[in-house]
């Protein structure tokens, strides 16, 4: 295995030994923040209590609500003048969740990110275009720093302006890029519409992540753009990107266990679930001094993939994120994940990339409407063909989610598109609309 650094090649025994040492250090550091001094104090937990990794379970969880309540500096564990940057999680309304970093924290993050990129074949000399927001969102500066650390010629392209993005990709002969999956599909289709071949774009590797997407959507990106796409997972509370990443096998995301402790728990009981069983991901930082976070409830649903990865790395693999604990929709008593709907929609070749699930309430009855963009070449004048397609999609969805949705077929590019992460669900049930 070609590796970026030693820790990438550690065996289980080494990983777990280092984790325990780093966990104790993290607790010692965290106790310097008002938040953890209080939380750990009340739970009666001290670094000395940690005799093995299972002792971690004595520590109470930290939630997003905790972080909001401690805004802005309640979890900071160093003197303020050691902090050099902060980021915030995206899409939050009201009080944001902010994470503050020291220079060492940023260095460690850049190395993790560089390790991810190296793992999928990106090297010094590659030209890397980062199509991500360069504001508080961590996908901008986070991935940027990793690419520079690796020695790539790094283009901070930012988001939007499809024409300019494409021009940069071509003119700079970009070999690798980072892009959110919905935008990758959008760019590819925009080129197709203009009669250009998106497969002729130079990049051979794409890092895709930051929003939930299915394996089907990934394969579409690969076919459309003629490249390999690797799933990148992270969240602001754990730095951002660089937490877990697919290797060349494209079968699960290695979570970097020298820098994090990952647990998967039953979202209701908080107890660990066995490998292979889905639960909520809970994460602990092991290499952060500015603002350590311990046992953070990500609300993301995944499982540990059992068995070893053929690539030889011993860092455990997470399955692709199946959804959020909190995006589960309940319609007529059925639990539904938007990703189930996407999976079905994407299996129809007539269906374009953009769709919207609208939840409505009619006279006390919940109703689900799925607005689906149909590719231009299939959006024909033949009503019979369209009605048949509509029925076929509705039936397939019913078989999967046990609720029959109303399916609206609309023209390509007619649904609103988000600037950042795609918005897939609109809940109008309680809005009085």
**Residues within the interface to Zn ion (CB under 5 A):** 247, 249, 309, 311, 313
Binder of residue 277, out of ligand AMP, Zn ion, none (CB less than 5 to 8 A by kind): none
Q: Which stretch binds ligand AMP (CB under 6 A): 50-58, 167-175, 234-242, 379-387?
A: 234-242
Contact 207, 221 (CB under 8 A): no
Q: How far is the CB of 21 from ligand AMP (least distance, A)?
A: 27
Q: Which stretch binds ligand AMP (CB under 6 A): 66-74, 86-94, 186-194, 341-349?
A: 86-94
Q: How far is the CB of 62 from ligand AMP (least distance, A)?
A: 14
Indicate whether 62 belongs to the interface with ligand AMP (CB under 6 A).
no
Among 117, 225, 229, 235, binds ligand AMP (CB under 6 A): 235
Among 77, 130, 138, 145, binds ligand AMP (CB under 6 A): 138
Q: How far apart are CA 134 and CA 140, in angstroms?
A: 4
| Three-class SS state of 402 | coil
Indicate whether 300 belongs to the interface with ligand AMP (CB under 6 A).
yes
Q: How far apart are CA 335 and CA 126, in angstroms?
A: 44
What are the residues whose beta carbons fall under 8 Å from the beta carbon of 314, sequence distance 6 or more?
A: 10, 11, 12, 15, 308
Binder of residue 138, out of ligand AMP, Zn ion, none (CB less than 5 to 8 A by kind): ligand AMP
Q: Which stretch binds ligand AMP (CB under 6 A): 53-61, 64-72, 125-133, 232-240?
A: 232-240
Contact 224, 185 (CB under 8 A): yes
Binder of residue 165, out of Zn ion, ligand AMP, none (CB less than 5 to 8 A by kind): none
Q: Which stretch binds ligand AMP (CB under 6 A): 186-194, 233-241, 282-290, 308-316?
A: 233-241
Among 128, 233, 256, 296, binds ligand AMP (CB under 6 A): 233
Q: Which stretch binds ligand AMP (CB under 6 A): 15-23, 77-85, 229-237, 264-272?
A: 229-237
What are the residues whose beta carbons fall under 8 Å from the beta carbon of 383, sequence distance 6 or more?
A: none
What are the residues whose beta carbons fall under 8 Å from the beta carbon of 135, sequence distance 6 or more?
A: none
| Three-class SS state of 204 | coil
Among 96, 142, 198, 212, binds ligand AMP (CB under 6 A): 212
Phi and psi, residue 19, nearest 5°: -60, -40
Binder of residue 89, out of Zn ion, ligand AMP, none (CB less than 5 to 8 A by kind): ligand AMP
Tokens of residue 148, six digits: 């520079």
Phi and psi, residue 298, nearest 5°: -75, -20
Indicate whether 351 belongs to the interface with ligand AMP (CB under 6 A).
no
Q: Which is nearer to ligand AMP, 22 or 218 (CB)?
A: 218
* Total of residues contacting ligand AMP (CB under 6 A): 18
Helices (H), 198-347: 215-225, 338-346
Indicate whether 232 belongs to the interface with ligand AMP (CB under 6 A).
yes
332 backbone φψ class: left, alpha, beta (φ>0; ψ -120 to 50): left
Q: How far apart are CA 392 and CA 122, in angstroms?
A: 42
Q: Which stretch binds ligand AMP (CB under 6 A): 2-10, 88-96, 103-111, 114-122?
A: 88-96
Q: Which is nearer to ligand AMP, 258 or 300 (CB)?
A: 300
**Reading across the β-sheet that carries 323-324, which strands appear in turn?**
260-265, 279-285, 296-302, 323-324
Strand partners, 244: 233, 255
Q: Which is nearer to Zn ion, 22 or 313 (CB)?
A: 313
Indicate whether 324 belongs to the interface with ligand AMP (CB under 6 A).
yes
Bridge pairing between strands 98-102 and 351-362: unpaired
Q: How far apart are CA 145 and CA 150, in angstroms?
A: 9
For residue 423, the Cα-to-chain-centroid distance in whole angstroms is: 14
Q: How far is the CB of 286 from ligand AMP (least distance, A)?
A: 19
Tokens of residue 289, six digits: 């001094």
Among 236, 284, 285, 412, binds ligand AMP (CB under 6 A): 236
Q: Which is nearer to ligand AMP, 32 or 299 (CB)?
A: 299
Tokens of residue 16, six digits: 């777990």
Contact 146, 114 (CB under 8 A): yes
Binding residues vs ligand AMP (CB under 6 A): 89-91, 138, 209-212, 231-236, 298, 300, 321, 324
């Amino acid at each position: 295995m070609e590796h970026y650094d030693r820790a990438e090649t550690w065996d289980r025994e080494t990983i777990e030994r280092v984790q325990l040492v780093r966990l104790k250090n993290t607790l010692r550091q965290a106790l310097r923040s008002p938040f953890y001094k209080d939380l750990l104090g009340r739970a009666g937990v001290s670094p000395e209590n940690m005799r093995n990794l299972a002792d971690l379970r004595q520590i109470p969880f930290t939630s997003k609500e905790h972080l909001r309540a401690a805004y802005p500096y309640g979890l900071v564990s160093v003197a303020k003048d050691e902090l050099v940057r902060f980021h915030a999680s995206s899409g939050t309304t009201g009080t944001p969740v902010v994470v503050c970093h020291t220079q060492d924290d940023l260095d460690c993050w850049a190395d993790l990110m560089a390790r991810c990129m190296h793992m999928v074949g990106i090297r010094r000399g590659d030209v890397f275009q980062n199509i991500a927001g360069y504001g508080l969102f961590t996908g901008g500066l986070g991935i940027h720093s990793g690419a520079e650390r690796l020695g790539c010629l790094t283009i901070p392209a930012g988001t939007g302006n499809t024409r300019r993005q494409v021009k940069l990709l071509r003119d700079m002969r970009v070999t690798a890029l980072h892009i959110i999956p919905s935008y990758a599909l959008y760019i590819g289709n925009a080129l197709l519409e203009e009669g250009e071949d998106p497969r002729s774009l130079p990049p051979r590797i794409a890092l895709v992540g930051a929003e939930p997407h299915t394996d089907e959507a990934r394969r579409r990106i690969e076919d459309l753009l003629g490249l390999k796409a690797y799933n990148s997972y992270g969240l602001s509370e754990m730095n951002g990107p660089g937490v877990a990443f697919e290797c060349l096998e494209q079968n699960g995301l290695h979570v970097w266990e020298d820098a994090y402790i990952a647990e998967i728990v039953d979202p209701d009981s908080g107890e660990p679930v066995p490998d292979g069983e889905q639960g909520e991901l809970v994460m602990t930082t092991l290499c952060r001094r500015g603002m350590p976070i311990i046992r953070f409830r990500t609300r993301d649903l995944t499982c540990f993939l059992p068995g070893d990865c053929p690539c030889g790395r011993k860092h455990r693999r997470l399955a692709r994120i199946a959804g959020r604990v909190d995006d589960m929709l309940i319609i007529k008593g059925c639990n539904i994940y938007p990703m189930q709907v996407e999976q079905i929609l994407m299996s129809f070749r007539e269906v374009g990339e953009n769709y919207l699930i609208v939840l409505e309430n009619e006279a006390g009855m919940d109703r689900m409407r799925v607005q689906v963009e149909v590719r231009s070449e299939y959006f024909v004048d033949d009503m019979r063909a369209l009605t048949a397609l509509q029925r076929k999609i509705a039936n397939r969805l019913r078989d999967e989610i046990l609720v029959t949705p109303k399916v609206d077929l609309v023209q390509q590019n007619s649904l609103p598109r988000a600037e950042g992460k795609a918005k897939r669900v609109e809940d109008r049930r309680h809005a009085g609309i």
